[in-house]
Each structure stands twice: as C-alpha cells, then as structure tokens.
C-alpha cells in the first residue's frame, strides 16, 4: 500500500499534463472560479481559485472514495458473474 499511493498520484499527474488535457486546465480553472483565463496570473487570484476549487475537489474525492469502497465491498460478497450483472445494471 505504501508504494501504491505515490504511483497513483504520479499516474494522475501524468494524465493531467498530457498534451491533450493540459490546454483544458486554464478553462477548467476559469469555469470553476469564475475568473477569465487571462486574469489567472493576477495577484491574489490564485488564493481565490484555491478557495473556490477546494470544496469541489473534496466533493469529488468523497464521491470516488465511496464508489471505490462500494466496489470493493461488492467484489468481496458476490461472484464474478454476479459482479458483471450488477455492473451492467448500473451502466444501463
């Protein structure tokens, strides 16, 4: 478990800095903070962006942790076939 967290972090970081995703980051931050992309380098704006994005990030974290824990619980209780049927039902 000790090495999995840094590896997961690096994989997530690598996915954000890829050439197809990185250009979307200023627009994402603008949409999240309500500040135009050209003003992101102004003084004090970084603090406002962090303050606006922290609840959003925490919300996503909670949702995905709960989903991951639920998936782990299902995998321990149900057979592989039942897991496939449950996944199909959820997707539909």
Residue range 72-90: mean pLDDT, rounded: 87
pTM > 0.75: no
| 22-74 pLDDT per residue, tens | 787 777 777 777 766 666 667 777 777 777 778 877 888 898 889 888 888 88
φ/ψ bin of 34: left (φ > 0), alpha (ψ from -120 to 50), beta (otherwise):
left
Q: Is the pLDDT of residue 13 over 70?
A: yes
d(CA 69, CA 75): 10
pLDDT for res 17: 83
What is the number of other CB atoms lying within 10 angstroms of the CB of residue 46? Answer: 13
| 16-28 pLDDT per residue, tens | 888 887 787 777 7
| Contact yes or no for 29/53 (Cβ under 8 A) | yes
């Amino acid at each position: 478990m000790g090495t999995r967290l840094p590896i997961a972090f690096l994989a997530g970081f690598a996915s954000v800095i890829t050439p197809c995703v990185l250009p979307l980051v200023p627009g994402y931050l603008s949409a999240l903070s309500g500040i135009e992309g050209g003003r992101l380098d102004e003084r004090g704006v970084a603090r406002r962006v962090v303050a606006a994005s922290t609840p959003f990030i925490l919300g996503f974290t909670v949702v995905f942790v709960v989903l991951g824990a639920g998936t782990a619980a299902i995998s321990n209780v149900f057979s592989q076939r039942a897991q496939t049927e449950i996944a199909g039902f959820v997707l539909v």
